Structure 1
């Protein structure tokens, strides 16, 4: 009996699904609004709906893979779990001291980003290991027990155990982990020797604390997702995309959720690599424009660029990732006029709720989607296969009422200006991954996808001198 594969991408605005029956070559596609309050609901609804559309039984699903930006959104929106840290005496302020970078030299009112573990939840204990792994001072187990009690009183959900030089000798971290497990088995827990067994304590501590802060968030999401998949009658265990382009079990994600920061965008890049192989094209630039953001990546000779460290929420996250550059430019990006009378677009987005004015869901501020609608580049009857009504009159009203009076131009020129500005912003993203890395974009083929990608790809390619 022919098996079925399903791939899912949960974006900030829409959730997209594709179904494939490899034996017959049958494909099906489906899109529905992301349920931001409960992202698993849109995923589960989408799985049921795409199987119904394809008229295929659920028990034939052999492979189910999910790409999600849940971890990224949790960090950027400040929705991570309250996290504690147990660390070597004298080193609890590593997260604040960082590398002494000062990006704003002359600003006296700089607000530093909040660390993944607040200072009052970072508890020091005695015990020291040298750089070569030899023990200088034994771990003070009574202090570890006391630290666990303090963190319990502070109602943290997750604990990061970060000791000096644990990459050379993790014995102190292992023992501290055992004590936490004995005294507080309900706590989410990770150690830096598991998450990032490398030297450079700032990056190691920051990555481990970020990982711990995501563990409760990801566990709750995956528990809901796995339970829902089973209730749908799908018998196989799902997989989750990682930032490096691979797919792993939910158990692996629960242990190291920090590896999923770029899970969703990585799936598009992997798809671009696969398409390039089929077409014998090795040099590609993927252009993924969704409702909230645009992700671009350079692929040379069939291999996407990779990085070992990214920054999330103002702190380094040292994990292997596909080198994806993201900007706040999408179909839902809001057009606005600054104090000087200049037209701007983004990075604020209308999202899926209320969404662009054209959606008719209460949104009134003009967006890129509204501009495309006004210029006749979108068919009002085609969104979500006709399942979602579009309202051209509301798109026009949004731009006329909000932008035209301030810009003193007609409706068509205002809408065209919105698209010109968003295109310039996205061209800047393409330059970052190509020209600024010593690559000529004219040597690459642009691969456009995402809900809004094909609408803008031709303009981007033309202005960048790309012929394919």
Structure 2
């Protein structure tokens, strides 16, 4: 049996590695610049460097978990496959009709992005399944043959989405057509909606399936390359891909359903954050994951990461279980510029890994957030693995902002980081205040390469008083991959009033999914220590448009269905939490039944380094603050800070993967989990 588990998270600027030894809890971290042209290059080169650094034998790697941005980037850049669509007659234009909601309601010039499938590549077929799942119009062999011929007339088609009306109730027509097309065109990828997203709401089902088809060729090729390379570098390793729902899936599932990986990396960060906060005994946190290109935030209550079943990415609708994350284009590489109105803007364009911020001395010359931090004295002259910072190039870049505004470089730099912090705070408001939660009741957990530099600024805006800085903030997404378990989600639509007479129908739907879940859970794995199922019902008041999820509990086998009254009371509690009220007399209905199946891996408690002795500064930096200008501030190395150490701001704490700024008015201390807790001093 292998003794090492490795997590790899690919970001816009850096690719992060975290390796944990199961027998001892030893942890080894590594970073290297990302390779946007082919993310697997950075992964494979970094893996070789990590093996050498930690003296790991490739055959001793038990698991390799990967958080990928391939699907996300392909969708954002529309660099997917030439895709076709087959649908029921009369629904050809559904992708354009959508929900008839403008992307910017007050901007008449902004349109929704064009569909991923050109209209001439959308084919209609004469067939029809009714709303009760019965066949209204037969799908004849002649009609199928006609479709096969017409598909052959579409030049350059790489992938195909099959989305027939009410196929989530009766998939027979989709399955027949898919089998015929796969036999006729083995080189064309085929996605069918009854497999990708078997739920009602036709637009969301169509959109999700089309996105899956659009991504499948590119992601499948990437997964094939990665699998072959990892097979050589770590022949015994089980390769898992992190999915947006918060767990690992097999590389085969990722290639088949790439739409499930649309939020792979950020979701891993949320899982890692929950695990790190648990070590410090903190259950309610708001995450602040600041990378090179974007900032991701999430709300974690009682140690549980929130989930959502509906997301828009780059203007495209995805309806699948995902970790509830809000993203804004504000990161270390975000480019600052003056808008047409003469006001300072930051992002969403980013310098990324290539050419990167000007201070990286790799050809970038645009002013970025990282350059602003250099000008303010917040970034040391060296980053991960001796990565050098060129302060002169940063100052030259910031002059592109300071000169037109006729202000000093420091004030321009401060303006840039302030605008970036405001963008980040707006994202936090979206996951907290807009959902009835007060961010002042939560601890802000900062991570990512730039999280520690901006956490205090963001906390000031939101009047948050406590910040948690995990032991390895810049690698936390990779660490989230290590602590993640295998997960599979199943869903079926079961629309019926929540009444005693319908309990057998609901129970039958649960049993149907439980059978599928049990088959998946029966897979043998020496590292699995627990297998369980969580039953979830989507409930709503009759007449409502959207539903709330009610968790019925977790057990090894599907838990028993509670009474109608118990289900209603659970729904009322959810409704009151979400909306502030509930109506005990209104009718309630079931919409969907879900099962989340989980196989938990054996985990080794992390052995954290525990230095002792008094903290001594290793240098002094001149750091610029708005109220005082430049202030001499001590610089500490985090690996030298013992448990119980308390430091008063201003101070700078550097470590392998990030830098943490402690401004005046804040105190930071090292707790028993070797996390750092930063708190605002009493006024």
Q: Post-superposition shift, 1:6?
A: 0.7
Q: Post-superposition shift, 1:463?
A: 2.9
Q: Paired residue for 1:324?
A: 325
User: Quick check: 97-106 or 336-345, which moved more?
Assistant: 97-106
Q: Paired residue for 1:40?
A: 40
Q: Post-superposition shift, 1:108?
A: 5.5
Alignment partners' CA distance in 2, 1:282 and 1:106: 39
Q: Post-superposition shift, 1:106?
A: 6.7
Q: Post-superposition shift, 1:52?
A: 1.0
* 1:398 matches 2:397: yes
Alignment partners' CA distance in 2, 1:111 and 1:150: 31
Alignment partners' CA distance in 1, 2:342 and 2:104: 27
Alignment partners' CA distance in 1, 2:106 and 2:421: 32
Alignment partners' CA distance in 2, 1:368 and 1:332: 6
Q: Post-superposition shift, 1:110?
A: 4.2
Where does structure 2 lack aligned partners over 5 or more consecutive residues? Answer: 467-683
More strand by share: 2
Q: Check whether the contact 1:2–1:21 (CA below 8 A) recurs between aligned residues.
A: no
Alignment partners' CA distance in 1, 2:129 and 2:213: 23
Q: Deviations over 1:98-125 (max 9, x none)?
A: 1222345675544331212221111111
Q: Paired residue for 1:350?
A: 351
TM-score for both structures, normalised by structure 2: 0.66
Q: Check whether the contact 1:83–1:121 (CA below 8 A) recurs between aligned residues.
A: yes
Q: Check whether the contact 1:80–1:213 (CA below 8 A) recurs between aligned residues.
A: yes
Alignment partners' CA distance in 1, 2:124 and 2:83: 15
Q: Paired residue for 2:458?
A: 460
Q: Check whether the contact 1:292–1:351 (CA below 8 A) recurs between aligned residues.
A: yes
Alignment partners' CA distance in 2, 1:422 and 1:230: 42
Cα distance, 1:93–1:141 mapped onto 2, change above 3 Å: farther
3-state DSSP of counterpart to 2:238: coil
Where does structure 1 lack aligned partners over 5 or more consecutive residues? Answer: none
Q: Check whether the contact 2:103–2:111 (CA below 8 A) recurs between aligned residues.
A: no
Q: Deviations over 1:420-467 (max 9, x none)?
A: 111111111111111111111111111111111111112222332222
Alignment partners' CA distance in 1, 2:160 and 2:260: 18
Q: Post-superposition shift, 1:417?
A: 1.2
Q: Paired residue for 1:225?
A: 226
Q: Check whether the contact 2:220–2:256 (CA below 8 A) recurs between aligned residues.
A: no
Cα distance, 1:72–1:391 mapped onto 2, change above 3 Å: same
Q: Post-superposition shift, 1:2?
A: 6.8
Q: Deviations over 1:356-395 (max 9, x none)?
A: 00111111111010111111111112x1220x22211111
Cα distance, 1:106–1:427 mapped onto 2, change above 3 Å: closer
Query: Equivalences for 1:194-273 in 2 at 5 Å?
Result: 194-273=195-274
User: Quick check: 305-314 or 111-120, which moved more?
Assistant: 111-120
Alignment partners' CA distance in 2, 1:161 and 1:213: 12
Alignment partners' CA distance in 2, 1:108 and 1:457: 36
Q: Post-superposition shift, 1:326?
A: 0.1
Query: Equivalences for 1:60-71 in 2 at 5 Å?
Result: 60-71=60-71
Alignment partners' CA distance in 1, 2:287 and 2:104: 33
Q: Post-superposition shift, 1:147?
A: 2.6
Q: Check whether the contact 1:121–1:154 (CA below 8 A) recurs between aligned residues.
A: no
Q: Check whether the contact 1:356–1:367 (CA below 8 A) recurs between aligned residues.
A: yes
3-state DSSP of counterpart to 2:49: helix
Q: Paired residue for 1:422?
A: 420
3-state DSSP of counterpart to 1:168: coil
Aligned residues: 465
Q: Paired residue for 1:118?
A: 118
Alignment partners' CA distance in 2, 1:462 and 1:384: 28
Q: 1:445 aligns with which of 443, 448, 460?
A: 443
Q: Paired residue for 1:19?
A: 19
Cα distance, 1:408–1:318 mapped onto 2, change above 3 Å: same
Alignment partners' CA distance in 2, 1:2 and 1:425: 44
Q: Paired residue for 2:52?
A: 52
Alignment partners' CA distance in 2, 1:412 and 1:220: 47
Q: Deviations over 1:130-185 (max 9, x none)?
A: 11111111113333333333333322111111111111111110110111022112
Q: Check whether the contact 1:328–1:347 (CA below 8 A) recurs between aligned residues.
A: yes
Q: Post-superposition shift, 1:350?
A: 0.5
Q: Paired residue for 1:164?
A: 165
TM-score for both structures, normalised by structure 1: 0.96
Alignment partners' CA distance in 1, 2:342 and 2:27: 48
Q: Check whether the contact 1:66–1:240 (CA below 8 A) recurs between aligned residues.
A: yes
Q: Check whether the contact 1:337–1:344 (CA below 8 A) recurs between aligned residues.
A: yes
Alignment partners' CA distance in 2, 1:429 and 1:105: 20
Cα distance, 1:324–1:376 mapped onto 2, change above 3 Å: same
Alignment partners' CA distance in 2, 1:103 and 1:458: 33
Alignment partners' CA distance in 1, 2:50 and 2:376: 32
Query: Equivalences for 1:128-207 in 2 at 5 Å?
Result: 128-152=128-152, 153-207=154-208
Q: Check whether the contact 1:127–1:139 (CA below 8 A) recurs between aligned residues.
A: yes
Alignment partners' CA distance in 2, 1:108 and 1:236: 53
